Structure 1
């Protein structure tokens, strides 16, 4: 086997690190994974987190996104059912379970990670439907 076939691709490493830091509520660790010009679209398109649907571009905007989303959760659990890696991008198909203020919500979707040449996250794009997720709401 060559090093190419035994070395894991940077996008897989970065996506797992992102999920670990987010679920562990380690803000600075999560932010450090991003390229300076990186961005987050979660969910893609207009939402309560991003009314214009343009995403959160740059570390300051990503930090504000963290503060209004991840920081407000009591817990986050990522369930990955499948992954596909092509070039510098990887999608995972699965769900994110959030517990916020005694409410549990499951967001089923497709989550796309892209890294730059240095292995830093260039973007995270989350394709999930707010209305669909809200139908899973359970009071704990």
Structure 2
């Protein structure tokens, strides 16, 4: 009997070591969402935080950009400058969306004279979201 119990426990422990390749999440509205997790390295849970950034992978975090941004409204931001240590970069791509303090803003404008002292700049990619 002890051998059977030991074998059963060992079998269950072996089953628990197999990784799954999907995750099921029950949403507040009762629906079930299923996500493939083949390439996920880390998952963070932030209870009570603004989760509007989840699923929007097009937004660039401002800490990872050579540009500086200024919030102009509840949903928009403008390019307000560049970080001086990127001064030797010859091209810059302005993102359509940026994440500032966990919230996503659409980049809709470029401030006056932002690139005035940027002598090495030869190319700027401006997205369609920028209108002024």
Shorter-normalised TM range: under 0.3
- Give the number of the structure whose residues are more often strand, by fraction: 1
Larger helix proportion, structure 1 or 2? 1
Q: Higher relative contact order at CA 8 Å, sep ≥6: structure 1 or structure 2?
A: 1
Task: Provide TM-score, normalisation by structure 1.
Answer: 0.24
